[in-house]
Amino acid sequence: MLYFQIVRNDPFDHISDTELLERYYSDKDNQWLGLVLQRYTVLLLGVCMKYLKNEEEARDAVQQIFLKSITELSKYKVAYLKSWLYMVAKNHCLMKLRDKNIFIPVEEKIQLTSPESDRQELLEKEATLTLLENSLEELNPEQKSCVTLFYLQKRSYQEIVNSTGFSLLQVKSYIQNGKRNLKILVEKKMNQMK
């Protein structure tokens, strides 16, 4: 079990992540990037622990993710840092797990293979996610924007209101209707595949 003591001695905690990133992009001072990345240490450690199941490996992974982030963020502008960091962490951990399997002896690999039903289930889930991703593109722009911000980027209603300019009632409506339309589109496509 991991225990963390979160100490916010950040003299810049009144400045948003977005503003810190903008400062970094404008003057390329790594101090700004360091401050914003530090805010996500616990989140990244949690993600890495979820996948790697080993505290030491997870801590190493967080350091590697920070290094990758510093390199990548100096090349590209990232609009939604939290989502981007989550995907970088997830992909990093999945690559580490994939690399581990390379070194497993053949006899042990046989025991690790999952039954055919598990593979089929995994393929079905992957197909559903692909359908979901494609169907998301078919929603009207307002629904697509609100659904993406709410479900994929885990934004609150108020954050969506602030970033889109829609009223709270509109945001709730776009999310509800977008979710319903997404379900209809996915089910329709799944039925066409059968």
What residue ranges define each of the domains in the chain, with the CATH number in brackets? 1-113 (1.10.1740.10), 115-194 (1.10.10.10)
Residue ranges for the chain with pLDDT beneath 70: 1-12, 101-120, 122-123, 194
pTM for the full model?
A: 0.46
Task: Write down the pLDDT at residue 117.
Answer: 54
Task: Write down the pLDDT at residue 111.
Answer: 44
Task: Write down the pLDDT at residue 91.
Answer: 87
Distance separating alpha carbons of residues 5 and 94, to the nearest angstrom: 27
